Structure 1
């Protein structure tokens, strides 16, 4: 009798420990899932991917490192893709980082493969651990055909701020047509992504002049950028005077200060074409400063008047000659 009691006692202890172990493991999984979401929201998607691997590493039923379907989609092999689907391969099988075959097809700009996957039930708004959607990948590859196809199948043209933004990616890479398609589908032209700012700010940062021009034509806010940094601040850091002129033509404020207390002129490289473009836009005192810069570059005093004539409009010429 005593032996049975001891046996049952040990058995109960064992069952309790076993239950506590699984309960503790479940709590860890929940905590890591919440932590993953936190890192995605904060923009640290690399860390989110590492944590996700810890959570899902052993779930082989729905996860794979990289399937044959992924390979066929990424390489645009339509016949192989159809054959694998006919054999019963799940079109929504994803890698450890939640990359689907549809992600791969769109990244390669393979519209025919993307269409077959969507027709067989591929998740059009599926996100990777980095917050990337198939639409984002289509904008990355610069495929208007893929962008249109995804939108036809219900892709969300504008996502939450913590997810990777398709329009920002299209602008960053200079894919103007993809950008225009998204804007035609009611994407907010002034959407300010936490890591990137507005589309216009991105276009200025990467000197995508065609995108800058189109965004301004479509009514983008010329002074809204990334927090206190305006598109003009972004343009001043680069080497394109053409972008400076475009922004100024649409009324960009030259004297707005960023979080460092600097205006666009403060950020321009000294004696550069960008600095000269900004000085020309800032009025008489800046024009005088520009002319003095020109004179310093000149080899002889005899050419001063010629330089003033080159730099200045007629009404200001006489005034500045005496500065």
Structure 2
């Protein structure tokens, strides 16, 4: 009898906890609906107050995109100045911590970004995804925005867990933004765990101008992504121009990656890239050619092998007259 009473008491406790959970969930759903209603009606301040209670957002933040965000993103300078004059906080953010300055830089609107900064916008604000206004400026390719952010104290060299502006500039082929960052002491060989070095990123996206400039500025030609070198990346993308450029600056053709493959191992058989690499290797590549011949054409004559492999003319002559 006593055991039944204890079991009944525990059941009541579990039921009470479940009922309390459902009640809190119902309140949150109701407040979320009420927030949406206020936003639709245009009463964003009341929506913000409710959102702060629901999500625990710091005071002064808004749960949705504000008119300030929209004006900054669309480059409407007059509207932006009017909103600031009306008392809008320049540092209000969305739930994802996106500020109006983020939006202005993403759109490349340097005048709007300047007004926000002059009115106290946080130059190094970070979104939940680790995005800064400087990253967005590099994304848009606005060298003017990049320069202005740096003048207002933006950090060009960021912590490893944040999105890297120089990698974004290189990825999109914005060479001028990249040069500005390097001139402001950004590590030219900074290795991002996801993207490798800026040179590796440039080779991956076949940004020849950026590759050339990075090499001219002193980027290490063999530093890439872990054991993968920039030359590995260029060969994977079949970019003969980039590969030649890297080799001209001393890229090693014998470096092996985590799969123990050198650049030539990654080139497709009989491809233009393979021929380029063989030519650049010169006579030193004969040993590898012989191995390839043995695998492909056992028992055949050397003339047959040369014809079958469709080698470039200098190597063809070299083989036939040895």
TM-score (norm 2): 0.75
Residue 74 to residue 56, structure 1, CA distance change in 2 (3 Å) = farther
- Which residue of structure 1 aligns with residue 148 of structure 2? 149
CA distance in 1, matches of 2:236, 2:52: 41
Separation in structure 2 between the aligned mates of residue 67 and residue 274 of structure 1, nearest angstrom: 52
Deviations for 1:93-131, whole angstroms, at most 9, x for unmatched residues? 001110000000000000000000000000000000111
Q: State whether residues 64 and 95 of structure 1, in contact with CA within 8 Å, keep that contact through their aligned partners in structure 2.
A: yes
For 1:225 and 1:250, the matched residues in 2 are separated by 15
CA RMSD of superposed structures (Å): 3.0
2:277 aligned residue? 278
**Alignment-derived partner of residue 314 in structure 2:** 312
1:110 aligns with 2:131: no
- Show the counterpart of 1:221: 220
1:148-189 CA-partner distances (Å, limit 9, x unpaired): 010010000110111000000000000000000001111110
User: What residue number does 1:59 align with?
Assistant: 57
| Cα 1:54–1:84 shift into 2, 3 Å | closer
SS in 1 for 2:114: helix
Deviations 1:19-76 (A, max 9, x none): xx9xxxxxxxxxxxxxxxxxxxxxxxxxxxxxxx999824374232110000000000
- Per-residue deviation at 1:79? 0.6
- Following TM superposition, by how much is the alpha carbon of 1:136 offset from its aligned partner in structure 2, in angstroms? 0.2
For structure 2, list consecutive stretches of 5 or more residues without a partner in the other structure. Answer: 1-19, 21-50, 298-302
Shift, 1:322, TM fit: 4.1
Q: 1:54 to 1:275 in 2, by over 3 A?
A: farther
Q: Partner residue of 2:250?
A: 251
Assess if the C-alpha contact under 8 Å between 2:52 and 2:58 holds in 1: no
Contact map agreement 2:108 2:142 (CA 8 A) in 1: yes
Q: Which has the higher contact order (CA 8 A, sep 6+)?
A: 1
Given that 2:134 and 2:149 are in contact with CA atoms closer than 8 Å, whether structure 1 keeps it comes out as: yes
Separation in structure 1 between the aligned mates of residue 127 and residue 53 of structure 2, nearest angstrom:
14
Whole-angstrom distance in 2 between the partners of 1:135 and 1:94: 17
* Equivalent-residue separation in structure 1 for 2:151 and 2:136 (angstroms): 16
Q: Kindly tell me the number of residue pairs found equivalent between the two proteins.
A: 261
How far did residue 268 of structure 1 move?
1.8
Separation in 2 of the partners of 1:89 and 1:119? 14
Alpha-carbon distance in structure 2 between the residues aligned to 1:131 and 1:137: 11
Q: 2:231 is paired with a residue of what secondary structure?
A: helix
**Distance of 1:54 and 1:276 partners within structure 2:** 63
The equivalent residue for 2:83 is 84
Q: Answer yes or no: is the 8 Å Cα contact 2:156–2:181 preserved in 1.
A: yes
Q: Counterparts of 1:143 and 1:70 in 2: how far apart (Å)?
A: 19
Q: Any idea what SS the aligned residue of 1:259 has?
A: coil
- Per the normalisation by structure 1, the TM-score is 0.74
